Amino acid sequence: MARFALKLLLLALGIARIQAITNCTLPLSRVGEKAYYVESKEKQNWYDANERCIRAGLQLATVDSEYKFNELADFLSTMGYRSDWIWIGGIGRQGSWLQFGPARPLPYAKWYISQPDNLNSENCMNLYRIAEPWYMNDYSCRTKLSYICEYDSTRIYTN
């Protein structure tokens, strides 16, 4: 009986979460199966950026394949981001990184040369581009940067 009640609770939370997502009032940009929101005016540290995405019914954007990385990089470039540092959903430390959202080992990475280096406790992941192309980088979680939230219409968010 307790297992049934737990499953019912998880289902209810999942439905509430889906409803929160579909009621998102942020201006989302559709890219393939995903929709993104980029915040560059009110920069946040990684934790606050993550919280703001969650409050909007979204999550910090995740990169789980080369295709998704390129799609995201192309989208950011098309939106006019040139020399930018943008928080995404990855957290970890030297040698052990997790994709945040559905927490799991990072399935794909395109790190910049000598990254991640965990310099000064850099435990949060961002995308950055100083020239071409975009790369992943580890950075201090407390630094205020732009951030990108995502909504994946193929995923039911129940975390």
55: which 2 tokens? 């409050």
In the chain, the number of structural domains is 1
Residue 90 lies in a domain: yes
Residue 157 lies in a domain: no
Amino acid 46: pLDDT: 98
pLDDT tens series, the chain, 159 aa: 444 333 333 333 333 333 444 467 889 999 988 999 999 999 999 999 999 999 999 999 999 999 999 999 999 999 999 888 999 999 997 778 988 777 788 889 999 988 998 888 899 999 999 877 999 999 999 999 999 999 976 654 444
Amino acid 65: pLDDT: 94
Which residues lie below 8 Å from residue 106, measured CB to CB, with a gap of 6+? Answer: 90, 92, 97, 98, 99
Q: Write the DSSP symbol of residue 46.
A: H
Residue 32 lies in a domain: yes
Range of the domain at 51: 2-152
Residue 119 lies in a domain: yes
Alpha-helical (H) ranges within 23-137 are 46-55, 66-78
**Residue count (the chain):** 159
Residue 133 lies in a domain: yes
CATH number for the domain spanning 7: value is 3.10.100.10
Q: pLDDT digits over 42-64, tens only? A: 999 999 999 999 999 999 999 99
Token pair 């939106």 in the structure block, residue: 79
Angstrom distance (rounded) from CA 6 to CA 58: 24
**Nearest CA to 92 among 137, 154, 30?**
137
Residue 85 lies in a domain: yes
Amino acid 132: pLDDT: 79
Amino acid 103: pLDDT: 78
Residue 62 lies in a domain: yes
106: which 2 tokens? 């990072």
